[in-house]
Amino acid sequence: GAVVSQHPSWVICKSGTSVKIECRSLDFQATTMFWYRQFPKQSLMLMATSNEGSKATYEQGVEKDKFLINHASLTLSTLTVTSAHPEDSSFYICSASSGATDTQYFGPGTRLTVL
Amino acid sequence: GQNIDQPTEMTATEGAIVQINCTYQTSGFNGLFWYQQHAGEAPTFLSYNVLDGLEEKGRFSSFLSRSKGYSYLLLKELQMKDSASYLCAVNNQGGKLIFGQGTELSVKP
């Protein structure tokens, strides 16, 4: 149980284009989904928290107009990186949680490379 | 401020026992998690502690002392596949996790 999928697993795009990443909880309903970014040799940095049907809450320093988050259902959240630039190249990981312990289960991650 | 400290790297021998420490100072506390992360992959859940004491799960155990702001992850009978980064994370408030920098564990034959 507690399987989270992400799609795509990797993507290469040109500077200035937009990229959409999907995060799905496959066998449970996720009350909350989280989006993280991880640069090489660094730990996970929380970008935003999203609850189904409401606007995402962004962490300080994360541009909400650049990283659009939609949480349309209890099993799906999407992150769109708009007008991507090389400095946005990173490993993007989503997680989903439900239940009293708020245990977060992570998706396999999406490696974004912006040329 | 929020601060979670763990050693940057550790080395241990196959078959041995290793303890990875984590100390934390956070504005709130609603549990502490340990995750394992292999290079290029997402973290996988190992353990959760919210009350003081030891939680044992197979070869892995995790301990928590809330009064000391301290936790450790104990790995027994180390295997080569245990080489990975181990992340300590505190559930601050509202389910948000604050991660430490991670401890890179190398298991040698």
> How does pLDDT run across A5-28, given as a tens digit for each residue?
999 999 999 999 999 999 999 988
Among chain A residues, the shortest Cα distance to B102 is held by A43
| Chain A residues in contact with B6 (beta carbon < 8 A) | none
pLDDT of residue A82 exceeding 70? yes
Q: Which of residues 55-74 of A touch B (CB under 8 A)?
A: none
Judge whether A34 is closer than 8 Å to chain B, CB to CB: yes
A35 in B contact zone (CB under 8 Å): no
Instruction: Work out the pLDDT band at A51, boundaries 50, 70, 90.
Output: confident
**CA–CA separation, B44 vs B95, rounded Å?**
17
d(CA B20, CA B106): 12
The DSSP line for A38-90 is: E-TTS--EEEEEEETTS--EEPTT--TTTEEEEEEETTEEEEEE-S--GGG-E
Running DSSP on this structure, what letter comes out for residue B82? G
Does the pLDDT of residue A100 top 60, yes or no?
no
Predicted pLDDT of residue B63 = 98
Per-residue model confidence (pLDDT) at position B51: 95
- All residues of chain A having their beta carbon less than 8 Å from the beta carbon of residue B36 are none
Reply yes or no on whether the pLDDT at A55 is more than 90.
no
Instruction: Return the bridge partners of A11, or none.
Output: A112
CB-defined contacts A:B, below 8 A: 53
Q: What percent of chain A has pLDDT over 70?
A: 97
A99: pLDDT strictly greater than 70: no
Find the closest chain B residue to A98 by CA distance. B95
The token pair at B7 is 């050693």
Q: According to the model, what pLDDT value does residue B96 have?
A: 84
Determine, for residues A32 and B95 on separate chains, whether the beta-carbon distance falls below 8 Å. yes
| Region A44-48 average pLDDT | 92
Helix (H, G, I), strand (E, B) or coil at B72: strand
The dihedral through the CA atoms of A85, A90, A96, A101 has a sign that is negative
A102 vs B: CB within 8 A: yes
Per-residue confidence in pLDDT tens, chain B, 109 aa: 689 999 999 999 999 999 999 999 998 898 999 999 998 888 999 999 999 999 998 999 999 999 999 999 999 999 999 999 999 999 987 778 899 999 999 999 9
